[in-house]
Structure 1
């Protein structure tokens, strides 16, 4: 197929199989705790289900959101993941090496989009959502409109960035914007606009050493350091959320110019941290289930289908039709013809070999998003 979704039917079947009584499981594999329901993985899979109009996957999303609400922490925390166990209390994790803050923001996004699609009544979730928003306000602490995120505090849980991480600011602002009207909280929309203004002001510093200065945002910054790194997830979500359209559009154009037009799929982060990089010793030490971030693997330059799917949505929303066609063709070449692709987490950034845990909802979701980018369902769910 030329649309980059030759494994589409398999992807849909996998998402349906992962949608059960507890919610949408992260993987059909028993590796580590991937059989648990992860907030971010399940919400994104649920977005795919909403685009599909698939009853089984959408029901899995609703059960996920209810499950996350039911195990919500005393201060409003949303679990990174939970697992229901027969005859025993659920196992609930809010993070291991670090708190996972994006469980909270994806939860809010999931509530908003499910409600927009008439798949969920927000009323039983309103108090829970308000508790999450208050918690995020408290974590912000200094009233400067940006969250300070520890190393490993989001999906890239073994990657070296921290501080004011763009990805997390985008998700928070998007969630507040989406929920402000349906929950009758106009102050949330005002807060979202302040976060967007802070993103506009703080994440595009001058960078003369770059090939194209300021064409894409920095991934994060702290008082002592700027992580002048390209973050595909942050750029794609920024464009989909519509927070800073001019900036996001320029970033999409850069992605096309730097990667797609050169017949290369963009990795999760760029450039790669190699053995000669000053950050290598810290990266090599930082892991939970064994070191996975060799050059061009996992977070360190691996190509993740989930973020290619969000990139496809972003390109469609911003009218980058030629770039979207290039992306779909590249994914077709990279995935469709491979006999050994089993919905692993990522592809090696150089060889294209699949890597990581197989049968992942993450990767199946990416291929569904890729197929539905630009569709009527996409415009209805994610449009203004």
Structure 2
């Protein structure tokens, strides 16, 4: 059967990006994308595990090995690294802000690799224990949530901070995976405590500030504000991991009703922040490589295939093939309208134009997950 999405090309790209050091973020060298980014490489490696692809899976293992060996003195995991021809190493733990999700993705990646027999946990026990201790220290107050600075995760130019849902989900999921692998009940118990806290804190009483009843969890909470934007990454990962079982069906129903039933692909964050909105000024002045968050672009309403893939996995895991089929069909139709496509980062939320850096592992990963979900191949250890 001919693929509606470029599955074979996606696998080819991920194999091309799997180097002896790990999986590169992109075939492009723009804005340091030739480096190995922890989150990009680990997600790509999980795609390799999902389809049983040996070269991509080997790239995951090499990524994890190098992240372990480059671990910071307090247990930090590098956001990205690269090695020059003369063996000079460039290691970054963040630029405008520390990147906390490199540490949490490392936990998820090690747990998944061990569950699939691709890594020996004892080779990572010391590194994992240091990461967990570091995150416990960042938590500081014993209330089961991490306080994340603006720019502290993948949405590094989006103006939200505080107790960001995405980071809590990844931490809990990684702890649960590793607690099972290592037979560490305390890690599993901590994951459960984080899940309970998410359930209590991220669905505050009252209607959604953008109108109507609250159906999605809030994106972040802090002492001074509650960010009520819909964070697709957080919602997809929370539903897939099933850390808050009582909320999973509601999240997936809301995704279906709000976006798919309207023949729309969900953007990374919604609603879009427009000029004149309260969040516009902080959004417009917060950037690293030039302003990219115009309305319906980049984090600000751009449509990212990688997060569509995670959402598809969540639908499939919870027995919703009709929703998978709709999401897959909408994505395929979106691609079919493009005159040219080279695995750009995201699509413009209105015009559908492919924008951002080309040759992205992120995007190829999303298509692998979409196709995996389409054929309901999600009964894998790391998705439980």
* Class of the TM-score when normalised by the shorter of the 2 chains: over 0.9
2:371 corresponds in structure 1 to 371
Larger displacement relative to structure 2 (303-312 or 239-248): 239-248
Contact 1:309–1:368, Cα closer than 8 Å, also in 2: yes
Larger displacement relative to structure 2 (365-374 or 210-219): 210-219
Partner Cα distance (1:381, 1:56) in 2 = 20
1:301 corresponds in structure 2 to 301
Contact 2:75–2:130, Cα closer than 8 Å, also in 1: yes
- If asked which structure has higher relative contact order (CA below 8 Å, sep 6+), I would say 1
Q: TM-score normalized by structure 1?
A: 0.97
Question: Are the structure 2 counterparts of residues 339 and 119 from structure 1 closer, same or farther at C-alpha, using a change threshold of 3 Å?
Answer: farther
1:278 corresponds in structure 2 to 278
Report the 3-state secondary structure (helix = DSSP H, G, I; strand = E; otherwise coil) of the residue aligned with 1:178. helix
Contact 2:111–2:382, Cα closer than 8 Å, also in 1: no
Instruction: Map 1:22-41; keep pairs closer than 5 Å.
Output: 22-41=21-40
Partner Cα distance (1:364, 1:99) in 2 = 26
- Residues 323-358 of structure 1 deviation map (CA, whole Å, 9 limit, x = unaligned): 111100000001145231111110000010001101
Report the 3-state secondary structure (helix = DSSP H, G, I; strand = E; otherwise coil) of the residue aligned with 1:378. coil
Question: Are the structure 2 counterparts of residues 151 and 366 from structure 1 closer, same or farther at C-alpha, using a change threshold of 3 Å?
Answer: same
Contact 1:149–1:165, Cα closer than 8 Å, also in 2: yes
Partner Cα distance (1:333, 1:79) in 2 = 37
Instruction: Map 1:189-338; keep pairs closer than 5 Å.
Output: 189-208=188-207, 209-338=209-338
Contact 1:296–1:349, Cα closer than 8 Å, also in 2: yes
CA RMSD across the alignment: 1.4
Partner Cα distance (2:336, 2:348) in 1 = 15
Contact 1:317–1:374, Cα closer than 8 Å, also in 2: no
Structure 2: gaps of 5 or more residues = none
Partner Cα distance (1:148, 1:27) in 2 = 30
- Residues 73-130 of structure 1 deviation map (CA, whole Å, 9 limit, x = unaligned): 0000000000011223310000000000000000110001111111111111111000
Partner Cα distance (2:212, 2:374) in 1 = 28
Shift of 1:305: 0.2
Partner Cα distance (1:179, 1:373) in 2 = 24
Contact 2:176–2:191, Cα closer than 8 Å, also in 1: yes
Partner Cα distance (2:206, 2:164) in 1 = 18
- Residues 47-97 of structure 1 deviation map (CA, whole Å, 9 limit, x = unaligned): 000011111100000000001001000000000000011223310000000
1:166 corresponds in structure 2 to 165
Partner Cα distance (1:218, 1:110) in 2 = 26
2:83 corresponds in structure 1 to 84
